[in-house]
């Protein structure tokens, strides 16, 4: 928490990378604190530094893989719009590329959600990207 609140971008970056690693190895503990973890990661999508945004996207992808389908089912209303918005970070291609790579992780297990989603929303944008990959 102290690293997320620190003014240095390097500490934000380190905290996000650490959260992703903890989720990978300790999913049972992380799932108990999922609301807090998702909140921290999604707030970092708006960080002014592109490396922090990259780390946030990386973390949400890792969380989606290790904590799915719980993360997707409980937080898709917050995660998918954040990912869709990150696709528009044209000033930072590395952030965009990481986002594209992690979109697939976030989309796994969302067939029912995507069928219920509005046709002009972030789910549609993400699904269009996923189809382009294949």
Q: Which residue has better confidence, 32 or 118?
A: 32
pLDDT band at 100 (very low <50, low <70, confident <90, very high): low
13-17, 37-41, 102-106: which has the minimum mean pLDDT? 102-106
Write the Ramachandran bin of 12: left for phi over 0, alpha for psi from -120 to 50, otherwise beta: alpha
The predicted-structure confidence for 84-98, as pLDDT tens digits, reads as follows: 888 887 887 777 777
Rounded Cα gap, residues 67 and 44, in angstroms: 19
pLDDT tens digit sequence for 46-99? 999 999 998 998 898 888 888 878 888 888 889 888 888 888 878 877 777 776
Name the residue with higher pLDDT: 72 or 15. 15
CB 51 within 8 A of CB 44: no
Neighbours of 35 (CB within 10 A): 10
Annotate 37-46 with b (16+ C-beta within 10 A) or e (fewer).
bbebbbebbe
Say yes or no to pLDDT of 118 above 80: no
pLDDT above 90: residue 22 = no
């Amino acid at each position: 928490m102290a690293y997320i609140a620190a003014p240095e971008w390097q500490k934000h970056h380190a905290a996000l990378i650490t959260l992703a690693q903890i989720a990978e190895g300790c999913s049972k503990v992380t799932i108990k604190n999922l609301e807090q973890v998702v909140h921290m990661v999604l707030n970092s999508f708006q960080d002014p530094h592109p490396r922090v945004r990259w780390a946030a996207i990386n973390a949400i992808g890792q969380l989606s893989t290790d904590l799915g389908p719980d993360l997707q089912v409980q937080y898709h209303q917050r995660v998918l719009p954040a990912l869709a918005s990150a696709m528009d970070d044209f000033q930072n291609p590395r952030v965009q590329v990481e986002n594209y790579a992690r979109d697939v992780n976030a989309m796994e297990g969302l067939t029912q959600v995507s069928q219920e989603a509005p046709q002009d929303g972030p789910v549609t944008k993400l699904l269009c990207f996923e189809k382009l990959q294949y």
